[in-house]
Chain A
């Protein structure tokens, strides 16, 4: 694990919700600068998997090494040092949520600078400078002082991306970033994500956006019932998917996306 090129290594992750086993032993490796797309039908465990990477979901079993920080999972593993490592991981791993989760009592700019100021003790002036720059980068220079209630879905999600980037993360996780948006708003968010990928950001993206994945992803992990059933380079996955589930999934998704006119 000394290889500093490995940003995320997950080994044998299990997660149960009551009697339901959502993750049945997942292995995942993400290298620096890679864009990994995780696909699968709803209920396949992809969101749970991505939430395990920054411990918003606590895996029941397995081991994670994120940005060089190793965390063992399982009963009785919880202690102060482990919790500190998890917090450290969270400062290095940004997260973009399906439902944005912007802080409604703070303006766009305040949302972005909150993490750097509170967690990293960045001086306010410096944080504001960084925040302004990031909001400009996601095309929201003129919305800095608006509250989330005054922003459209696409603007909210772009603000959320800026918020994640403000922590200068090594990895950004995207949990279905466009699923809560109207179809005509997908593109503005995907554009920001594409630029981010071009800049060399390491990204793990749970999404149904085939066009985006085809274009940007290095590798695709296809999940079914808590297992990664196919892992392949993106071009190979989309041109010649091997697993029958992956084939039927792609047929379904490509059809609806063409018919629906969504990206």
Chain B
């Protein structure tokens, strides 16, 4: 297994890079979408609220694999052809955005209304109150599910192997089929995912401790 690992190492390092890139990019875009959706859903903007609710319902209610396949194989029929990596990022971002909107919404709703009132009472605007007072507290409440979602997303990047993106899982499959050593290759890749997520979980725990310090 060791010599197989050594032989595949350069490819694996490259693939790990792709996996991390997919995960981090989709997490960043998805979190931005999620925050916007959460703000809309906690606001009084009636009409666009329905759009937001529908988006969340659709992307939480359908399999991510189907979403990926639709974007990569389905959209070209409408004349929209997107390359594999952008397709993957788009699908992952939209999917994680729906989850993140629920995480952020839970955080925002978890902040006591008195906080908003106190912020308003010194003359803050909605955005000032949000940025300085509400959001930092909402983030602390939402951090555990947000961290969990990041880790889940890292694993979900493996799904874009079906649209020919050479990330970790696809490399394992390719090397496996070339050498007939599927067992070792999938074990190696599983270990890499696990180490990656272990590090992420450590980061999450550190962040949680820091945000909890005043309490």
Contact = CB atoms under 8 A, between A and B. Distances in A.
Interface of A: 54, 56, 87-88, 90-91, 93-95, 97, 99, 101-107, 114-115, 118-120, 147-149, 160, 163-164, 166-167
Contact of A119 (B114, B115, B123, B214): B123
B214 A114 contact: no
Contact of A163 (B122, B124, B125, B140): B122
A56 B215 contact: no
Given A114-B122, A147-B214, A97 B128 contact: no
Contacts of A106: 214
A101 B128 CA distance: 17
Contact of B125 (A56, A87, A115, A147): A87
B129 to A, nearest CB: 9
Contacts of A88: 123
Interface stretch (B65-73, B88-96, B130-138): B130-138
A94 B121 contact: yes
Nearest to A93: B121
Given A97-B114, A115-B124, A118-B124, A104 B132 contact: no
Nearest to B114: A101
Interface of B: 112, 114-115, 117-125, 128, 132-133, 136-137, 140, 211, 214-215
Contact of A105 (B118, B121, B122, B136): B136
B215 A149 contact: yes
Nearest to A95: B121
Nearest to B214: A147
A97 B117 contact: yes
Given A87-B123, A119-B122, A101 B214 contact: no
A103 B133 contact: yes
A232 B136 CA distance: 46
